A and B are shown apart, each in its own frame.
Chain A
Amino acid sequence: MKEDATLHAEPEAGAGRRALVIGASSGIGRALVRRLAAEGYGVAALARRKEELASLREECAERGTGEVLVFSHDVQELDEVGGLFERVVRELGGLDLCVFAAGIMPQVAEDEYDTAKDAAMIAVNLTGCVAWLNPVARLFASQRGGTLVGISSVAGDRGRTKAPVYGATKAAMNTYLESLRNRLADHGVHVCTIKPGFVDTAMLGGADDLPWVVSADTAARRILRAARWRVNVRYVPMRWWWVMAVIRAVPSWLFSRFRI
């Protein structure tokens, strides 16, 4: 797949609209912020790392795109969420799109059963997601509009030997997002579950033997397109859909022999 260096943004697509990206300092989240800003969205970027946020803001300013508001926040700090959410929406002047892109995937050895490590994954990937998307869902339901995007993973489709808890958090996220979708459908709110395959980000840990690796920017472009088209569940790239359809169909007794 040809990777494009430019953003190919549609500058009018986001004019007058406001987006919030949680987990914006790197990877898909960062690419989403750049693209949303280029499309004219007012963007609020949330992440833990202040330096990364500052560089993201500078980068967007250099590109001449709209101002990006940055907020330093650890999604594990649940007590901060209510107040910060209010501040973000006030400063943006409203909210039309929210993407939860925060996630961690520490390396886990096949014989490792480290509860602390696993609990951290649950805290960021799942509890953080719920803590942020709950108030967003409430706001969107009350204004009868808005698009909510959760960056899940293909890893949530099956329980793999290499990532028991990472996969479990993503599976839980899928179910949570589906419930939100069904809850909010009658309120005109759209919930989009994104299941990326391999995206060229720090999370891959430099592995170079993986198939179908796409750049973060390509992933971001596909994600926003899926959100715009009101797709419910989208694999990125889309060919993962049939791959995962096959993998999901493999019976457990056989799957356990694959060691994947």
Chain B
Amino acid sequence: MVPTDRLSASPLPASYRYVEAWGMNAGHLGRVLEPRSVTEVVAAFELARAEGVTLGPRGAGNSYGDASLNSVGHVLDLRGLDRILSWDAETGIADLEAGVTIEALWKRSLPDGWWPAVVPGTMFPTVGGLAAMNAHGKNDYRVGSFGDQILEIDLVLPSGEVRTCDRERHPALFHAAVGGLGLLGCVSRVKVRTKRVHSGELWVRAISVRNLREALEEMEARRDCADYLVGWLDGFAGGDGLGRGLLHEGRHLAEGEDDTPERSLSVAHQELADSILGFPKSQLWRVLRLLNHDPGMRLVNALKHHSGRLEALGDRQRWTHAAFSFLLDYVPNWKWSYGRRGRRGLIQFQAFVPHEAAGEVFAGLLADARSADCVPYLAVLKRHRPGPFLLTHALDGWSLALDFKVTPQRRATLWGVTERLTDRVLEARGRFYFAKDSLLRPGDVRRFLPPDALAAFAELKRELDPEHLLQTDLSRRALGDVCDPQEPCSA
């Protein structure tokens, strides 16, 4: 249980501001409640009930789409619950309030020789958000998702009850709430395991691939021995080079391989440099901004591919965990290169496709995007395995994440194109990941999640949140017909 000593007599802190999707493709003005304790989370539910408005839970707001927006109610920002409740350097188990970020976790655990077992591509998300989204990392095919690393969670239910769940206590709720988008209760505490590491560095090998088939084959061949696998693809390449790119394979160092683990495990050793050749990285997005158009990104992607060929000729290298894991943090605020004002930004279309169908479907997605003149500026390939959670994107297969630029002029075209891509994925029994989603239409969820899973989720929603206090723009858009207060669906 979270200690309740952080009580405050002052009213629930709140602010009125613009709440935005990470990809800047959606947002709204709204009241953001900022509780600092479980007691204040309960107070937020009471306030919402008294005012007759809904609450949308939000962590660090790193979901690309509208998963943490609530344009018709208040937003419940849980970053204030940011205490590391306990850290055990013997077992590597961390007991964290939901607002603790992955950054805070690794900075605490690494000097003791532990690295979070699963991390996303950026260190800024909160563990509560990662639990609610059941996020994954570059080692999903090997160790599973973030949810698989969770030992127990606390949920603050709309009733005010704080319920601790794990695989024994309330297992049904545990498996529904992990990946449950915060719709059943607000995640307030996450107990998570980390992985023992013997160095602050990884062996990283680069593998240049000439096309998508080669990318899939190379990754599949390394699946049993690599600790991490991630592929970058050039979305602009077509023809024989469709899906060409650069794979990175990461391996942990064995005990004794690092002569000076104390040094490499230090936080200072991991910190990313502030500048590149003297140029401050904080301003680098302005340079990328100049290249953020089709010809510019075609050039950047081609340069990356060709420099990757050189990189792949070299021997394996040692990278720090932070540099390898958090590639998205390399250029601060890089998303601003997509434009910062006036509904400009990006969406990510991440499709999860079963192993057998992946080659064909991904080739189709890349070709469709190219022929529709909506070329993704970034494409990332990962391998996955199925998971036990109710609303899960996990499957035995692959994911391809495509970043598309959004402008007011291109928005309608882009949405039309991605609808076709969505159908292609759904027809191949593929799935989608809610943390990335901006596109799912009502009914799409029923096409990829099993009916019994949806029915079980709806049943829990009815039981735990009969007033439907917990809602987000995403839940209304994609799950509206699953847990609609007006039309409760039958189990």
User: Is B341 a contact partner of A142 (Cβ separation < 8 A)?
Assistant: no
B-facing residues in A73-92 (Cβ within 8 Å): 82, 85-86, 89-90
Evaluate contact between B340 and A188: CB separation under 8 angstroms.
yes
Which of the 9-residue segments B13-21, B89-97, B101-109 touches chain A?
B13-21
**CA–CA, A165 and B15, complex, Å:** 31
Chain B residues with Cβ below 8 Å from A85 are: 16
> Is B341 within 8 A of A139, CB to CB?
no
Cα–Cα distance between A90 and B72 once the two chains are bound (Å):
12
Within 242-288 of B, Cβ neighbours of A (below 8 Å) are at 282
With a cutoff of 8 Å between Cβ atoms, the chain A residues found around residue B282 in the complex are: 186
Nearest chain B CB to A190 CB, angstrom units: 13
* Structural contact, A143 and B16, CB atoms closer than 8 A: no
Q: Which residue of B lies closest to A188 (CB)?
A: B340
Bound Cα distance A75, B15 (Å) = 18
Find out whether the CB atom of A142 lies under 8 angstroms from the CB atom of B18: yes
A94-141 CB contacts (< 8 Å) to partner B: 94, 135, 138-139, 141
* Alpha-carbon distance between A85 and B282 when the two chains are bound, in angstroms: 32
Shortest beta-carbon distance from A228 to chain B in Å: 17
**A144 to B344 CA separation, bound complex (whole angstroms):** 12
Interface residues of A in 175-212 (CB under 8 A from B): 186, 188
**Structural contact, B17 and A94, CB atoms closer than 8 A:** no
The distance in angstroms between the C-alpha atoms of A143 and B340, with both chains bound, is 9
Give the docked Cα–Cα distance between A59 and B118 (Å).
63
C-alpha gap A94/B31 in the complex (Å): 13
CB-based contact B17/A143 at 8 Å: yes
**What's the minimum C-beta distance from A180 to chain B, rounded to whole angstroms?**
15
Complex alpha-carbon distance, A186 and B283, angstroms: 9
Rounded to whole angstroms, the CA-CA distance of A135 and B18 in the bound complex is: 11
Provided the pairs A86-B31, A89-B29, A94-B29 are in contact, do residues A135 and B340 lie with their beta carbons within 8 angstroms? no
Across the interface, A135 reaches (CB within 8 A) one of B15, B19, B20, B29, namely B15
Q: Is the CB of B17 within 8 A of A139?
A: yes
| A94-B29 Cα distance, complex, nearest whole Å | 8
CA–CA, A136 to B119, complex, Å? 35
Q: Are B18 and A89 in contact (CB under 8 A)?
A: no
Q: How many A-B residue pairs have CB under 8 A?
A: 35
B341:A135 contact, CB within 8 angstroms: no
Contacts of A89 in B (CB 8 A): 16, 29
Number of B interface residues in the complex (CB < 8 A): 13
Measured CB to CB, the nearest residue on chain B to A187 is: B340
- In the assembly, what is the distance between CA of A152 and CA of B340, in Å? 30
Complex Cα distance, B285 from A188, in Å, reads 14
Contact among B16, B20, B27 for A86, CB-based, below 8 A: B16
Contacts of A142 in B (CB 8 A): 17-20
Q: What chain B residues lie within 8 Å of A164 (beta carbons)?
A: none
Say whether A145 contacts B14, CB under 8 Å.
Answer: no
Query: Secondary structure at chain A's binding surface: helix, strand, loop or mixed?
Result: helix
Q: In the complex, what distance in Å separates the CA atom of A89 from the CA atom of B282? A: 31
Q: Which residues from 147 to 189 on chain A have a C-beta closer than 8 Å to any C-beta of chain B?
A: 186, 188
Contact (Cβ within 8 A) B340 A144: yes
- Of A139, A141, A186, the residue contacting B16 (CB under 8 A) is A139
Interchain nearest-CB distance for A131 vs B (Å): 13
Q: Residue A143 contacts which of B14, B15, B18, B31 (CB distance < 8 angstroms)?
A: B18
Q: Are A144 and B341 interface neighbours, CB within 8 A?
A: yes
Convert B338-350 into 0s and 1s, putting 1 for each residue whose CB lies closer than 8 angstroms to a CB of A. Answer: 0011000000000
Nearest Cβ in chain B — how far from A136, in angstroms?
10
Inter-chain contacts of A144 with B (CB < 8 A): 340-341
A181 vs B15: C-alpha distance in the bound complex, in angstroms?
A: 20
Q: Which residue of A lies closest to B332 (CB)?
A: A186
Q: How far is the CA of A138 from the CA of B17 in the complex (A)?
A: 7
C-beta contact mask, B1-29 vs A, less than 8 Å → 1, else 0? 00000000000001111111000000101
List of A residues within 8 angstroms of B17 by Cβ:
138-139, 141-143
**A82: which B residues are within 8 A, CB to CB?**
14-16
**Identity of the chain B residue whose Cβ is nearest the Cβ of A95 in the assembled complex:** B29
A242–B180 CA distance with the chains assembled, in angstroms: 63
Contacts of B340 in A (CB 8 A): 144, 188
User: Which of B17, B20, B341 has the largest number of chain A CB atoms within 10 A?
Assistant: B17
Set of chain B residues within 8 Å of A145, measured between Cβ atoms: 341
Cross-chain contact A139 with B18 (CB below 8 angstroms): yes
CA gap between A259 and B15 in the complex, in Å: 46
Q: Which of B104-141 contact A (CB under 8 A)?
A: none
Most buried by A among B16, B29, B31: B16
Instruction: Please state if A188 and B18 are interface contacts (CB–CB under 8 Å).
Output: no
Please give the distance in Å from A219's CB to the nearest CB on chain B. 30
Nearest neighbor of B282 in chain A, beta-carbon distance: A186
Residue numbers in A under 8 Å from B14 (CB-CB): 82
- Taking CB atoms, residues of chain A closer than 8 Å to B16 are 82, 85-86, 89, 135, 139
User: Which residues of chain A come closer than 8 Å to B31, judged between CB atoms?
Assistant: 86
The contact string, 1 if C-beta is below 8 Å from chain A, for chain B 22-65, is 00000101010000000000000000000000000000000000
User: Bound complex: CA of A70 vs CA of B164, how far in Å?
Assistant: 49
Q: Which of A94, A186, A188 contacts B341 (CB 8 A)?
A: A188
- In the complex, A90 Cα to B31 Cα: how many Å? 10
Within 8 A of A (CB), among B271-323: 282
Question: A170 vs B27: C-alpha distance in the bound complex, in angstroms?
Answer: 36
Nearest CB of A to B213, in Å: 42
Please, could you name 16 A-B residue pairs with CB atoms under 8 Å apart, sorted by A? Answer: A82-B16, A90-B29, A135-B16, A138-B15, A138-B17, A139-B17, A139-B18, A142-B17, A142-B19, A142-B20, A143-B17, A143-B18, A144-B341, A145-B341, A186-B282, A188-B340
- Supply 20 further A-B pairs (C-beta < 8 A) apart from A89-B29, A135-B15: A82-B15, A85-B16, A86-B16, A89-B16, A90-B29, A138-B15, A139-B15, A139-B17, A139-B18, A141-B17, A142-B17, A142-B19, A142-B20, A143-B17, A143-B20, A143-B29, A144-B340, A144-B341, A186-B282, A188-B341
B residues lining the A interface (CB < 8 Å): 14-20, 27, 29, 31, 282, 340-341
| Chain A residues within 8 Å of B, Cβ to Cβ | 82, 85-86, 89-90, 94, 135, 138-139, 141-145, 186, 188
**Across chains A and B, which 6 residue pairs bring their CB atoms closest together, nearest first?**
A143-B18, A142-B17, A142-B18, A86-B16, A139-B17, A144-B340
